[in-house]
Chain A
């Protein structure tokens, strides 16, 4: 888009319409095209292996009541995990963005680590730590003289705990992106008129970030519904199952019962849409504007000595979600068969040798990083425009777009991947089996992530800032580039990192869509857990975590330097 001079002709509306239409078409194709195939499968009867289906009916939906107990399990564990994640996320985001807690920068970097660890790892680490017989903590506990295990992580609460720690850390990133764009003068005003810090947090901060938190809540709850690893690793030994473990059974048995899995998946659309409807009702007609024409600089509150208490809260959380799991995995990865008290002869580097010797892994790592970079970069442009259309434009049908965007989040990835496979296999342009297909798949499944993150920040921007530009005659593109985007910067960076990491650790869609020359790493890691060993899995996953961590550091350093130069 050419940078039209500030006093040029105000020709904004047509450009908006064109871009809006193009974005809507892209999103429609990405999302609805596979969804059509999912519905086709959900209503298919007859031989599940014959495509296209021979006949249609409601048979698959009629079987769903058999899974009502599992459905209830899923809702309960997802709600518990989402709640925990939001509480952790909100409290820590508040501490790190609003108070002068010591070592803020380092803590903030560390907070992102659980998210870029492949979810299986958290579950694996906690199963090594908290299994009743062999869990390291329980072994140490017994060595201290106890008879019984200290705790058992394989129950529903343990599962929700692990899900909250590892899959819920996205809540922190989303909420803190919102808090960073908040004008602190409102909080200061509250304190000036005599409200305490806690009261200010509950009565001022929380309502101001409500849309961001609610958006994060919907997203996180959906993420929990689709969560697979914790329930797989921790739940099955304890005979506790959720919808994704049930779907996995249906998909991986012979013959695979894809139609039933698809019916289960599309039924979850109803749950998701009810939640988005609720979200829209709750946020309608309210203003959440905190970034206006008035200048502000994010300032932090001086909480005095209380800051060390807050530091301890963050440190405790990080010990649970980062240090303990990572140390456990590191210890496991250098043993032949992991235990809490290894004998010197049990140590080996064999798992690392195996991991590095796998050609597939070496090329897969490169592919994963390349895809992560491309998905994140294209993704923020696409999701940024979608978020802008939904929140800001007056284009017709923008509400529908909000629903469409959430489709990929509503269905467990394992099922959505089949829709994408069927769709893109018959697509006339031969992208099947290439990295392009994975790129398309990632852009599709991470639409909700990007849109939620950016929307949370976008609703805080005062429209009058853009309108001011409009009055001055700046074109829409020019306004986006010079007003909206700079103000959105923290949200955009958060979204980029989230999408990058989500792509690198993507599992459900990759398993089915990668080709022999377009392999990615996470499926190999998960597969090592299935058929090789936890120790090899730990070694591979640690390698992945270190590489991803380095790339993220690099990105943050570059973006900071660029920001400084730009300033």
Chain B
């Protein structure tokens, strides 16, 4: 596993510029500018009015993530704040966003906080005035880039990043890939996997590796006839059992989960860098339970919430908190060189090309 000590996340000017273009409803900013009293409850610094939050009694969280993940999050929050009945609803990112927008356009505002798997979804929601502005006292523990532009609409609640993962029983050490280019060798024909075009992470990888190696990289990769999956579990299980021998989209969280189950898999961090995408979480405007939502956001941003994100096996998302402890396995996020799309405008513009090229490549 390669290590990079000095290429942490905070040095990257993630998503600058494009985010600044997002329009901000003036009223929301004025409202949030009124200083809120910061208290410490359950070891968590919060600017929410805890008594009011408890009087509201409920909190609804929408997430792109899995059921066990959603359940773990609301259960842990409710354990700290038993007077607030927290619940969640999950759907795949695209469907979740379509549902949320349809509900809002029909005048239904039941959801309090939402997490998207892609920043572009969050930016679009921000442009539509979907977020409530809130300056969390927890924000100080985060690099400025992790708080959106301008800060206070959503924050990066975790990171999803990818390296190469291969089956160490099927791939002899001498043939083990070390760089992204190693995956273009004919050796991987018919035994390499990737994700379908619906995967936001796959889009980031396509975008970033194209920037480094040019268009030819994916053309060459396509010649290997990769097998594409929708399901992360299926991708990793087949890899673990040797149906495929390596994957170009080795999501760290998926790797960790299958490794825990005793699979003979190895994670490689190529030194060109690891494509990465943050999860974006924020409070929804016109929320039914605004104080409970603020309290939830502070909790999620706090070391308590972020530890859960890093260590729960259904989550395994490294935290961007400056004081985050090492991830399971001992590495810190700062040990990796992460590749984030720098220009959001360019990134979003590339999406239709990506879908077209990717689908053609995987035979769809």
Q: Which residues of A are interface residues toward B (Cβ below 8 A)?
A: 49-51, 70, 131-134, 232-233, 236-239, 241, 245-246, 248-249, 251-256, 258, 336-337, 339, 346, 354, 358-361, 418, 421-422, 425-426, 432-433, 511-512, 514-517, 519, 524, 527-534, 537
Q: In the assembled complex, which residues on chain A have CB atoms less than 8 Å from the CB atom of B262?
A: 336-337, 346
16 A-B contact pairs sorted by A residue (CB < 8 Å): A49-B98, A133-B242, A134-B242, A239-B364, A252-B198, A422-B102, A425-B102, A426-B106, A432-B108, A433-B110, A516-B88, A519-B89, A528-B67, A528-B68, A532-B314, A533-B257
Q: Which of A49, A233, A237, A358 contacts B227 (CB 8 A)?
A: A237
Q: Output the nearest chain A residue to B240 by Cβ-Cβ distance.
A: A337
Distance of A239 Cα from B131 Cα, bound (Å): 40
| B230 and A421 within 8 A (CB) | no
Q: In the assembled complex, which residues on chain B have CB atoms less than 8 Å from the CB atom of A532?
A: 66, 68, 233, 257, 314
Distance of A236 Cα from B120 Cα, bound (Å): 27
User: Contacts A254-B93, A512-B95; is A51 near B197 (CB within 8 Å)?
Assistant: no
Distance of A91 Cα from B118 Cα, bound (Å): 51
Q: Output the nearest chain A residue to B100 by Cβ-Cβ distance.
A: A49
- Kindly supply a per-residue 1/0 record for chain B positions 299-334, scoring 1 wherever the CB is within 8 Å of any chain A CB and 0 otherwise: 000000000000000100000000000000000000
| B91 and A512 within 8 A (CB) | yes
- Kindly supply a per-residue 1/0 record for chain B positions 324-356, scoring 1 wherever the CB is within 8 Å of any chain A CB and 0 otherwise: 000000000000000000000000000000010
* Most chain A beta-carbon contacts within 10 A, residue among B68, B121, B243, B263: B68
| A236 and B66 within 8 A (CB) | no
Distance of A439 Cα from B221 Cα, bound (Å): 47
Q: In the assembled complex, which residues on chain A have CB atoms less than 8 Å from the CB atom of B243?
A: 131-134, 237
Q: In the assembled complex, which residues on chain B have CB atoms less than 8 Å from the CB atom of A527?
A: 66-67, 90
| B108 and A425 within 8 A (CB) | yes
| A358 and B67 within 8 A (CB) | yes
Distance of A245 Cα from B225 Cα, bound (Å): 19
Q: In the assembled complex, which residues on chain A have CB atoms less than 8 Å from the CB atom of B363?
A: 239, 241
Distance of A554 Cα from B225 Cα, bound (Å): 51
Whether B105 is near chain A, meaning CB under 8 Å from some CB there, is: yes
| B232 and A530 within 8 A (CB) | yes
Q: Interface majority SS on A: helix, strand, loop or mixed?
A: helix
| A233 and B234 within 8 A (CB) | yes
Distance of A339 Cα from B262 Cα, bound (Å): 12
Whether B54 is near chain A, meaning CB under 8 Å from some CB there, is: no
Whether B60 is near chain A, meaning CB under 8 Å from some CB there, is: yes
8 additional contacts, CB 8 Å, given A236-B230, A241-B364, A534-B233? A239-B225, A239-B362, A241-B363, A253-B94, A258-B98, A432-B108, A512-B99, A529-B231
Q: Which of B89, B121, B258 contacts A516 (CB 8 A)?
A: B89
Q: In the assembled complex, which residues on chain B have CB atoms less than 8 Å from the CB atom of A432?
A: 103, 106, 108
Give the 5 A-B residue pairs with the shortest CB-CB distance, closest first: A134-B241, A239-B363, A531-B66, A256-B94, A425-B106
Whether B237 is near chain A, meaning CB under 8 Å from some CB there, is: yes
Whether B238 is near chain A, meaning CB under 8 Å from some CB there, is: yes
| A421 and B102 within 8 A (CB) | yes
Q: Which residues of B are interface residues toward A (Cβ below 8 A)?
A: 60, 65-71, 75, 87-95, 97-99, 101-103, 105-106, 108, 110, 118, 120-121, 124, 196-198, 200, 225, 227-234, 237-238, 240-243, 257-258, 261-263, 314, 355, 359, 362-364
| A254 and B118 within 8 A (CB) | yes
Q: Which of A50, A339, A511, A530 contacts B230 (CB 8 A)?
A: A530
User: Contacts A239-B225, A258-B98, A533-B237; is A336 near B261 (CB within 8 Å)?
Assistant: yes
B286 CB → nearest A CB, Å? 16
Q: Output the nearest chain B residue to A418 by Cβ-Cβ distance.
A: B98
Distance of A193 Cα from B355 Cα, bound (Å): 66
| A254 and B120 within 8 A (CB) | yes
| A517 and B87 within 8 A (CB) | yes
Q: Output the nearest chain B residue to A232 by Cβ-Cβ distance.
A: B230
A436 CB → nearest B CB, Å? 15
| B87 and A256 within 8 A (CB) | no
How many A-B residue pairs have C-beta atoms within 8 angstroms? Tell me. Answer: 167
Q: Which of A133, A253, A258, A511 contacts B197 (CB 8 A)?
A: A253
Distance of A50 Cα from B261 Cα, bound (Å): 44
Q: In the assembled complex, which residues on chain A have CB atoms less than 8 Å from the CB atom of B364?
A: 70, 239, 241, 245-246, 249
Distance of A336 Cα from B90 Cα, bound (Å): 26
Q: Output the nearest chain B residue to A519 by Cβ-Cβ distance.
A: B89
| A237 and B238 within 8 A (CB) | yes
Q: Which of A49, A50, A358 contacts B68 (CB 8 A)?
A: A358
| B198 and A253 within 8 A (CB) | yes
A340 CB → nearest B CB, Å? 10
A352 CB → nearest B CB, Å? 13
Distance of A188 Cα from B66 Cα, bound (Å): 58
| B89 and A514 within 8 A (CB) | yes
* Most chain B beta-carbon contacts within 10 A, residue among A232, A248, A519, A533: A533
Distance of A537 Cα from B28 Cα, bound (Å): 43
Q: In the assembled complex, which residues on chain B have CB atoms less than 8 Å from the CB atom of A528?
A: 66-68, 233
| A531 and B231 within 8 A (CB) | yes
User: Contacts A253-B197, A337-B240, A516-B89; is A51 near B95 (CB within 8 Å)?
Assistant: no
| B99 and A49 within 8 A (CB) | no
B206 CB → nearest A CB, Å? 13
Q: Which of A49, A359, A517 contacts B71 (CB 8 A)?
A: A359
Q: In the assembled complex, which residues on chain A have CB atoms less than 8 Å from the CB atom of B89?
A: 514-516, 519
| A236 and B240 within 8 A (CB) | no
| A534 and B234 within 8 A (CB) | yes
| A531 and B227 within 8 A (CB) | no
Q: In the assembled complex, which residues on chain B have CB atoms less than 8 Å from the CB atom of A233?
A: 234
| B196 and A511 within 8 A (CB) | no
Q: Output the nearest chain B residue to A70 by Cβ-Cβ distance.
A: B364
| A252 and B92 within 8 A (CB) | yes
Q: Which of B124, B233, B234, B362 contacts A49 (CB 8 A)?
A: B124
| B120 and A49 within 8 A (CB) | no
Distance of A253 Cα from B198 Cα, bound (Å): 4
Distance of A432 Cα from B243 Cα, bound (Å): 44
A342 CB → nearest B CB, Å? 11
Q: Output the nearest chain B residue to A337 by Cβ-Cβ distance.
A: B261
Distance of A512 Cα from B91 Cα, bound (Å): 7
Distance of A340 Cα from B92 Cα, bound (Å): 32
Distance of A50 Cα from B33 Cα, bound (Å): 30
Q: In the assembled complex, which residues on chain B have CB atoms less than 8 Å from the CB atom of A339?
A: 241
Distance of A233 Cα from B364 Cα, bound (Å): 15
Q: In the assembled complex, which residues on chain B have CB atoms less than 8 Å from the CB atom of A354?
A: 68
User: Contacts A252-B92, A252-B95, A256-B94; is A533 near B101 (CB within 8 Å)?
Assistant: no
B182 CB → nearest A CB, Å? 22
| B196 and A358 within 8 A (CB) | no
B42 CB → nearest A CB, Å? 21
Q: In the assembled complex, which residues on chain A have CB atoms less than 8 Å from the CB atom of B101?
A: 49, 51
Distance of A528 Cα from B241 Cα, bound (Å): 19
Q: Output the nearest chain A residue to B116 by Cβ-Cβ distance.
A: A254
| A425 and B238 within 8 A (CB) | no
Q: Which of B65, B88, B98 contacts A531 (CB 8 A)?
A: B65
Q: In the assembled complex, which residues on chain B have CB atoms less than 8 Å from the CB atom of A134?
A: 238, 241-243
* Most chain A beta-carbon contacts within 10 A, residue among B67, B99, B225: B67
Q: In the assembled complex, which residues on chain A have CB atoms less than 8 Å from the CB atom of B124?
A: 49, 255
B264 CB → nearest A CB, Å? 10
| B232 and A531 within 8 A (CB) | yes
Q: Output the nearest chain B residue to A51 by Cβ-Cβ distance.
A: B105
